[in-house]
Structure 1
Amino acid sequence: MEKSKQIVPINRSASPAWRALALLLLLFPAAGCSRDPPEERLRDTLVRMQQALEERAPARFMEYVAADFVGNDGVDRDALQQAVRAQVLANQRIGLVLGPAEVEMRQGSATVRFSALATGSGGRWLPERGGSWDVTTGWREEGGDWRLHYARWERR
């Protein structure tokens, strides 16, 4: 059961500092309700996916991939998940450097283009494997979260 809120009258003879504090306290809950702009949330999702790969957490990476994902040559969500797992198993260390992201926002969807440099190693100091790609991705908002539903990558 929700507790009832009491409205406390502000004493008009109170000092200006107290009135300012009371005004801030009244406005504070409204500030907590605001959401980040869609592009900022999308960029944050990209960072979280990159971190998941580098931390070898394929399940966390896949949280951002839509059920109907489609990639190059008909790669679906299951095939992408298996590819990510295979990279985690094959590499003790995974490095991923993304170039600047070019974001095109639309109502409820977006396209993001970037370059990616991926490296993998068996735990040694220097990467043993690597590759560079140009990537185009398609995104849509689902329940306030961004989900990757399309990706196309081309080796550089």
Structure 2
Amino acid sequence: MLLWKLAVALMAVALMLVGCGRDDPEAALQAAVESLQESIESKDTSRLMDLVHHEFSANQEADRDWARRTATLMFLRHRKVNVIALNSRSWIDPTYPDKGYSEAQIALTGAEGWLPQRLGHYDVRLEWWLTDGEWQLARLNWE
């Protein structure tokens, strides 16, 4: 009888671990947001562009090529780039599970040494599209 109880307990633990291993869309979305921030701070244009959807637009006028050129220019101009996210939140659209959103207040700094030479404060809204199992940035709007 003790062996049976042990087997049931082990099976319950195994089922819980399998449940934890399932893909969590919100966790994957949050990981994409963090990857976006890391790619900017590490000045990795290639990694950044992997996160940008081929139909990307920013403030309804700039496209994917603009994003690449702007990031490259910022990375060349500043030795250090930091993204400080304040009040950020991300969520999956309840009606369209292949769309996710992130909102944040961010401070974007560029520096050659310890002190920032450029500082910008923005309210940003990002729209993410789930494409081939990966979240990609499709829309970016800021104020």
- State the TM bucket, normalised to the shorter chain: 0.7 to 0.9
The reply to whether residue 118 of structure 1 matches residue 105 of structure 2 is: no
Deviation at 1:130, TM superposition (A): 1.0
C-alpha distance in structure 1 between counterparts of 2:107 and 2:15, whole Å: 45
2:52 to 65, 77, 95: 65
Structure 2 counterpart of 1:91: 78
The structure in which a higher percent of residues are strand is 2
Residue aligning to 1:5: none
Equivalent in the alignment of 2:40:
53
1:28–1:105 distance in 2 versus 1, CA, 3 Å: closer
Which deviations, in whole Å up to 9, do the C-alpha atoms of 1:53-73 show, x marking residues without a partner? Answer: 111111111111100001126
Q: Which secondary structure state, in structure 2, belongs to the residue aligned with residue 68 of structure 1?
A: strand
Structure of greater relative contact order (alpha carbons < 8 Å, 6+ residues apart):
2
AA aligned to 2:105 is: S
After the TM superposition, which residues 25-44 of structure 1 pair with which residues of structure 2 at under 5 Å, given as runs? 27=15, 30-31=18-19, 33-36=21-24, 38-44=25-31
CA distance 1:25–1:135, shift in 2 (3 Å): closer
Question: Aligned partners of 1:27 and 1:102: how far apart in 2?
Answer: 30
Match of 2:118 in 1: 129
Distance 1:75 1:16, change over 3 A: same
Structure 1 residues 20 and 146: CA distance shift in structure 2, 3 A: same
Higher mean displacement: 106-115 or 41-50: 106-115
1:87–1:33 Cα change, 3 Å: same
TM-score (norm 2): 0.83
Q: 2 CA distance for matches of 1:13 and 1:102?
A: 48
- The alignment's C-alpha RMSD in Å is 2.3
Identical amino acids, percent of aligned pairs: 22
Q: Report how far residue 30 of structure 1 moved.
A: 3.4
Q: Which residue type is aligned with residue 23 of structure 2? A: R
Structure 2 unmatched runs, 5+: none
> Where does structure 1 lack aligned partners over 5 or more consecutive residues?
1-11
Structure 1 residue aligned with 2:61: 74
